[in-house]
């Protein structure tokens, strides 16, 4: 007999996401993904000065703040056809990479680990055995039996007090939890250590960006960081060394903890390397430009159908017409007036709330498509495109995770297994490793360039009166490909559309009624207990949803838009 469940809201994500599933014979057969909050950023921007847009649009989200700011200045610079100083590229890139590292660490440990880890089982673990398990795969100094004993004591204290605090409301004791007590203990220890480590990533953003969240140092034409190695209160040698110290700390944690835990978890959850495949098309864009005119990048991008490497098409830079031409958004199943797919420069955001109806409109998230197809963006897409394109760092770090996996299981991961819930998480870890390498490179490049006497960080943008400008700013953000599309004339924005990673992945059915990536990824997922749909949450969490970004809309009347039905 088929059954319906509604999970509303899905928690440990940013914003409000509702997922409805039809379950038949213990498996999901159909799913609907709904963004349930409404805001209005794209409309607010109309009439603003394009040079101010970045500071407004980064308020789309309190999670991926820097990414919208940077995409926005890139869009205006693209419209003006202007280059920026190389120091500005390095500084923006260091901010972006650090920000994404923070995001990935928090996703793995704070937002999704508790879907896989049974914290109460950690109390049964033998700390000596936990420590011994990590010998030979990790050199992290906090993997000692003594450290694990301390963590066990902490958990015992929480359990005894009856207040699990940050660990309350987990699916403890669920039949889908498979880790042995020692691995559960390791995971909880690293959860707590990750809280410390992610701060170092944020500190880099704050030192260079002036504050975080929501950096203050951008400008159309570069950055507003005055550079002088010997002067106080500017970007000087002391601050650069401070940044370097945090980059090094992050490197240790990512290599010795995050990477190793990823392989260990995968080894204990091999079935999740078969469940959770989303859309059949993958898209990522090149990121971390290292010259002033955006023609050379540290990270590659591309398009691919499934994991058929013969279909891989590299995207060399953001000017690629095939990339720009393929992107459209439809509101057919979303609460907007306009059903027909529109190109973002012509895009419209006219809200029209009609209630939740699975056959009509059921989400505030629009449905983006690439040449009419639903496309998955994000770390899984980025990983498979990087492997197909033989991106050196991607291949290296992926192989290293695979080596640990082989040590533990005697098996080797194959590409088909990456199209899965756990594949998405592996992709995120590989992305973090590659970003970490990039940070070292970028920091050194910045210091060397300043050392050669180049302290330029800003070029004044020039605007021609009466001319209509159009530009697009692409970015490979934490959750995947982001693009900001701007049209302006005489210093005023006439249209602005953000096509956001979580919009691509969380989008409802498209103009041709095909489901979006979240919806597709849930089909076939086993659900042991429909009252505790942990399995559904695992797959949705693997995308790292951000609904503030996906909708960039908020209901100003405070009206309740939907109700919790089950769970
Ligand atoms: Ni609000 Fe975001 C990222 C953007 S959303 S987190 O990464 O852009 O998908
Ligand atoms: Mg939008």
What pLDDT score does 553 carry? 42
Distance from the alpha carbon of residue 440 to the mean position of ligand 2, in angstroms: 34
What pLDDT score does 14 carry? 83
Distance from the alpha carbon of residue 148 to the mean position of ligand 1, in angstroms: 34
Q: Mean pLDDT of all residues in the chain?
A: 93
3-class secondary structure, 314: strand
Mutational test site, ligand 1, from 33, 39, 58, 64, max ligand atoms within 8 Å of CB? 64
Kindly name the residue from 14, 419, 475, 519 that is annotated as catalytic. Answer: 14
Its CATH architecture, for the domain 2-543, is Orthogonal Bundle (1.10)
CA distance 191 to 209: 27
Q: What is the pLDDT of residues 125-163, one digit of tens each?
A: 999 999 999 999 999 999 999 999 999 999 999 888 887
> What's the angle, vertex CA 435, arms to CA 366 and CA 499, rounded to 5?
15
Q: How far apart are the first and last CA of the chain?
A: 20
| Ligand with smallest separation from the Cα of 334 | 2
Question: Residue 554 pLDDT more than 60?
Answer: no
CA distance 413 to 266: 10
Question: Residue 559 pLDDT more than 50?
Answer: no
Q: Percentages helix, strand, coil for the chain, rounded to the nearest 5?
A: 45, 15, 40
**Of 408, 409, 383, the residue nearest 397 (C-alpha):** 383
User: ipTM above 0.90?
Assistant: yes
Kindly name the residue from 16, 33, 61, 330 that is annotated as catalytic. Answer: 61
pLDDT band at 335 (very low <50, low <70, confident <90, very high): very high
Share of the chain above pLDDT 70, in %: 97
- Asked if 416 is an active-site residue, the reply is no
- Asked if 61 is an active-site residue, the reply is yes
- Asked if 546 is an active-site residue, the reply is yes
Distance from the alpha carbon of residue 545 to the mean position of ligand 1, in angstroms: 8
Structure tokens at 17: 């996401």
Nearest CA residue ID for atom 8, ligand 1: 500
Question: Residue 567 pLDDT more than 50?
Answer: no
> What's the angle, vertex CA 498, arms to CA 435 and CA 428, rounded to 5?
25
Cβ atoms < 10 Å from Cβ of 238: 11
What pLDDT score does 158 carry? 86
pLDDT band at 273 (very low <50, low <70, confident <90, very high): very high
What pLDDT score does 555 carry? 36
Question: Residue 523 pLDDT more than 90?
Answer: yes
Distance from the alpha carbon of residue 187 to the mean position of ligand 2, in angstroms: 37
- Asked if 433 is an active-site residue, the reply is no
Q: What is the pLDDT of residues 433-464, one digit of tens each?
A: 999 999 999 999 999 999 999 999 999 999 99
Nearest CA residue ID for atom 6, ligand 1: 64
DSSP assignments along 181-216, one per residue: HHHHHHHHHHHHHHHHHHHHHHHHHHHHHSSSSS--
CA distance 380 to 402: 15
Q: Which atom, in ligand 1's list, is nearest to the CA of 103? A: 7
Q: What is the DSSP letter of 159?
A: H
Q: What is the 3-state secondary structure (H, E, C) of 252-281?
A: HHHHHHHHHHHHHHHHHCHHHHCCCCCCCE
Q: What is the pLDDT of residues 52-83, one digit of tens each?
A: 999 999 998 888 889 999 999 999 999 999 99
| Residues near ligand 1 (Cβ within 6 A) | 14, 61, 63-64, 67-68, 477-479, 482, 500-502, 546, 548-549
């Amino acid at each position: 007999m088929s059954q319906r469940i509604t999970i509303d809201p899905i928690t440990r994500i940013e914003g409000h996401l509702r997922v409805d599933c039809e379950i038949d014979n213990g498996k999901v057969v159909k799913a609907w993904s709904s963004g349930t909050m409404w805001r209005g950023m794209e409309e607010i921007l109309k009439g603003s000065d394009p040079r101010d847009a970045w500071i407004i649009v980064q308020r789309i989200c309190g999670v991926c703040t820097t990414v919208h700011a940077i995409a926005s200045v890139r869009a205006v610079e693209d419209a003006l056809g202007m280059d920026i100083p190389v120091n500005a590229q390095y500084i923006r890139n260091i901010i972006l990479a650090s920000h994404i590292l923070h995001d990935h660490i928090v996703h793995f440990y704070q937002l999704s680990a508790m879907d896989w880890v049974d914290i109460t089982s950690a109390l049964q673990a033998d700390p000596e055995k936990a420590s011994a398990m990590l010998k030979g795969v990790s050199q992290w100094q906090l993997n000692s039996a003594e450290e694990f004993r301390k963590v066990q004591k902490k958990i015992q204290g929480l359990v005894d007090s009856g207040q699990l605090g940050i660990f309350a409301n987990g699916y403890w004791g669920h039949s889908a939890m498979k880790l042995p007590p020692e691995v559960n203990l390791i995971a909880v220890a690293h959860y707590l250590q990750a809280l410390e480590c992610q701060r170092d990533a944020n500190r880099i953003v704050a030192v260079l960006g002036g504050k975080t969240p929501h950096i203050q140092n951008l400008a159309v034409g570069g950055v507003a960081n005055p550079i002088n190695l010997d002067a106080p209160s500017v970007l000087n040698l002391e601050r650069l060394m401070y940044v370097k110290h945090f980059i090094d700390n992050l490197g240790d944690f990512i290599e010795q903890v995050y990477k190793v835990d990823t392989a260990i978890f995968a080894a204990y959850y091999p079935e999740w390397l078969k469940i959770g495949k989303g859309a059949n098309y993958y898209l990522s864009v090149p990121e971390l430009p290292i010259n002033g005119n955006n023609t050379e990048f540290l990270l590659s991008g591309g398009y691919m159908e499934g994991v058929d490497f013969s279909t891989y098409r590299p995207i060399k830079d953001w000017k690629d017409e095939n990339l720009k031409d393929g992107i459209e958004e439809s509101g057919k199943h979303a609460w907007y007036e306009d059903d027909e797919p529109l190109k973002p420069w012509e895009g419209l955001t006219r809200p029209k709330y009609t209630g939740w109806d699975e056959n009509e409109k059921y989400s505030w998230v629009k449905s983006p498509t690439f040449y009419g197809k639903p496309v998955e963006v994000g770390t899984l897409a980025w990983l498979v495109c990087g492997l197909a394109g033989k991106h050196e760092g991607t291949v290296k770090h992926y192989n290293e995770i695979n080596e640990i996996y082989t040590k533990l299981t005697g098996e080797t991961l194959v590409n088909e297994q990456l199209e899965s819930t756990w594949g998405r998480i592996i992709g995120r870890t590989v992305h973090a490793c590659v970003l970490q390498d990039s940070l070292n490179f970028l920091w050194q490049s910045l210091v060397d360039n300043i050392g050669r006497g180049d302290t330029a960080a800003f070029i004044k943008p020039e605007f021609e009166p009466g001319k209509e400008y159009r530009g697009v700013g692409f970015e490979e953000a934490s959750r995947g490909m982001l693009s900001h599309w701007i049209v302006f004339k005489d210093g005023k924005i006439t249209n602005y559309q953000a096509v956001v990673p979580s919009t691509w992945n969380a989008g409802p059915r498209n103009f041709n009624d095909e489901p979006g990536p979240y919806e597709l990824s849930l089909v076939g997922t086993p659900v042991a207990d429909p009252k505790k749909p942990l399995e559904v949450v695992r797959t949705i969490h693997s995308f790292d949803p951000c609904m503030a970004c996906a909708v960039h809309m908020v209901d100003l009347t405070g009206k309740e838009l939907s109700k919790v039905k089950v769970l």
